[in-house]
Amino acid sequence: MGKLRARMRSRRVATDVSVMRKRLIKLSICLAFVAGLLWAAAPVHAQQKLVVDSPTMKAGAMMARDYTPDGRNVSPPLTWSSIPAGTREFAVVCEDFDAGNPPPFVHWVIYKIPGSAKGLPENIPIDTSVPMPADVAGAVQGLNGFKRAMYRGPAPPPGKPHGYHFVVYALDAALDLKPNLTRAELLDVIKGHVLAQGEIVPVYERKPLTKP
């Protein structure tokens, strides 16, 4: 009788261990799945900070009309420093978190900028038949919020200044990026390759029209 009880107890223990093992395996699979979802939804996080500046724009200050449709609508010059070792390419996005449905509204996407570049010159060509300046040869423009592969400057509704985030990403690889990527597509592709990022945020406000 004692042997039978011992055998039955042993079987119960083995069954409990097997059930627990199966539960742990299921829990591990669920945790891995959740972790994958969180990683996919996470924004691009840089390990270091780039110092982004401009010879013609200041953070928090009004942008010149030349960089808007109220003026020449040309892209502004940018510079960056504190570049981490191993940088192979740069990408730049200009976005307005005060506009868009949903925000941000995208004014510029440009990538495949050589890792040797220290910035972008003013007036990047709109016409794809016009070569890029020598220092940024090979750079490619993606689609802005107007579905155009070009810089399109600020034109917010009158009455409220909007901030324009010129975000620069330093990448650890020369990625095979096709032309005409959107901001979302670009950020998805460069995820895991961002060594550093930084931004400069000037503002622009259009004044209400005054009656004569």
**Residue 212 within a domain:** no
Percent of the chain with pLDDT over 90: 70
Q: Which residue has the higher pLDDT, 181 or 24?
A: 181
Same domain, 141 and 194: yes
* Mean pLDDT value across the chain: 85
134 with 38, same domain: the answer is no
The CA distance from 165 to 106, in Å, is 10
Q: Where are the beta strands (DSSP E) in 14-118?
A: 48-49, 51-53, 78-81, 89-96, 105-114
Q: Classify residue 210: in a domain, yes or no.
A: no
6 and 68 together in one domain? no
Residues 78, 9 share a domain: no
Q: Are residues 116 and 139 in the same domain?
A: yes
| Of residues 212 and 168, more confidently modeled | 168
Cis previous bond, 202, omega within 30: no
* Model pTM score: 0.76
Query: Is the peptide bond between 104 and the residue preceding it cis, with omega within 30 degrees of 0?
Result: yes
Task: Answer whether residue 165 shows pLDDT above 80.
Answer: yes
Domain that holds residue 92: 48-204
Same domain, 171 and 82: yes
Structurally, the chain folds into a number of domains equal to 2
114 in the same domain as 20: no
For residue 20, what pLDDT band results from cuts at 50, 70 and 90? low
Regarding whether 106 and 5 lie in a shared domain, the answer is no
